Amino acid sequence: MPDDARIQAAISGAERFVNAWHGRSMRERLSELADATGADERADVYGSGQRIERLEARIAEMLGAEAAVFMPSGTMAQQIALRIWSDRRGTRTVAFHPTCHLEIHEQKGYQMLHGLHGRLVGDPNRLITLGDLEGIHEPVAALLLELPQREIGGLLPPWDDLVAQTGWARARGIALHLDGARLWQTGPFYERGHAEIAGLFDSVYVSFYKDLDALAGAALAGDAEFVAEARVWQRRHGGNLVTMHPFVVSAELSLDQRLERIPAYVEHARALAGALGSVEGIEVVPDPPQTPMFHILLRGDRERPADAALEVAEERKVFLFGDPDPTTSPSVQRHEVTVGDATLRLAPEEVAALYADVLSRANPR
């Protein structure tokens, strides 16, 4: 496989990027935050201050919740939410999809820090169904649903299915938590506002750096009592920092600048998928994309497509991907595309031609 140094060099030398998280320099981003900070503005102190409280009120209103709390990370926010629901329900079991972020990206933090037991629900390669939930027979404190489901290509359940699943949990007294890291993506698919979607849940986590491209940060929303308790747990986690001013300013700017662009990102994702579908050796999942996120499946062993993509980046100054993920087939590799501002600079036909070039180099006849 290409080493990290070569991948980083290709990124540094590129002028255009397929994925949303590339493009702006850190110096440019920090300068923007300085410009958005008043000459006499005071930073928040341990979670108190005009700007952070304004942002929290804004998020609560957007999600139709009584209150919200700004947190440095979604990992912290979601573990806190599940701990609160577990304590209130008097059981340590929480249910979620096998590819839930808590299960595969957080080193079992929910178990090691909070003594929670994860009940995995459904098939790792598809969405949770009502039938999957009906197979749960043990007591469960909370059901976590992720919208959209990142690890399977940004899939979303149909609205009626989502309503049925949340209704199943409510009928059994199970708390509902929404992993809404990418909730901002879901509006065009559901043709509903964020508050209506979030209203199906008792607590909601949203991210500011995914899709919106803020520096970092998250918010956890729910009723006032829940959020007050979450603030106590935030302190216990060490997340009540002396100031979070740069992250708060970045979150506000990102909401102002990019939230309204989500429909354009979705439209461009679908156009990209349509163009890529004509390239031999490529499959787009899902097709068409339901959100600005989708997966590209590439024919070839893992090393050759990666080398070919870096050759293209080095020669043509367009970075596609560096190190694709393996799949269950050794001859098929996968990488994720998230459409954002950087992606809009690339026409679908050009992207398709670049990927065709990669596959031609990776699989010479």
pLDDT at 8: 94
* Mean pLDDT confidence for 189-197: 98
Would you kindly state where each structural domain of the chain is located, as residue ranges? 4-23+261-362, 44-242
- pLDDT greater than 80 at residue 252: yes
- Tokens matching residue 259: 């939230």
Kindly report the CATH class assigned to 4-23+261-362: alpha beta
- pLDDT greater than 80 at residue 134: yes
- 44-242 matches 4-23+261-362 in CATH topology: no
Q: What does the mean pLDDT of the chain come to?
A: 96
pLDDT at 1: 66
In the three-class reduction of DSSP (H, G, I as helix; E, B as strand; rest coil), residue 219 is classed as strand
Q: Give pLDDT tens digits for 34-46.
A: 999 999 999 999 9
- pLDDT greater than 90 at residue 21: no
- pLDDT greater than 70 at residue 204: yes
Give the DSSP per-residue string, 116-171: -EEEE-S-TTS---HHHHHT--S--SEEEEESSBGGGTSB---HHHHHHHHHHHHH
pLDDT cut 70: percent of the chain above it: 100
Q: Give pLDDT tens digits for 179-190.
A: 999 999 999 999
CA angle 71, 72, 75 (to 5 degrees): 90
| Residue 296 bridge partners (DSSP) | 284, 335
Q: Give pLDDT tens digits for 49-101.
A: 999 999 999 999 999 999 999 999 999 999 999 999 999 999 999 999 999 99
Kindly report the CATH class assigned to 44-242: alpha beta
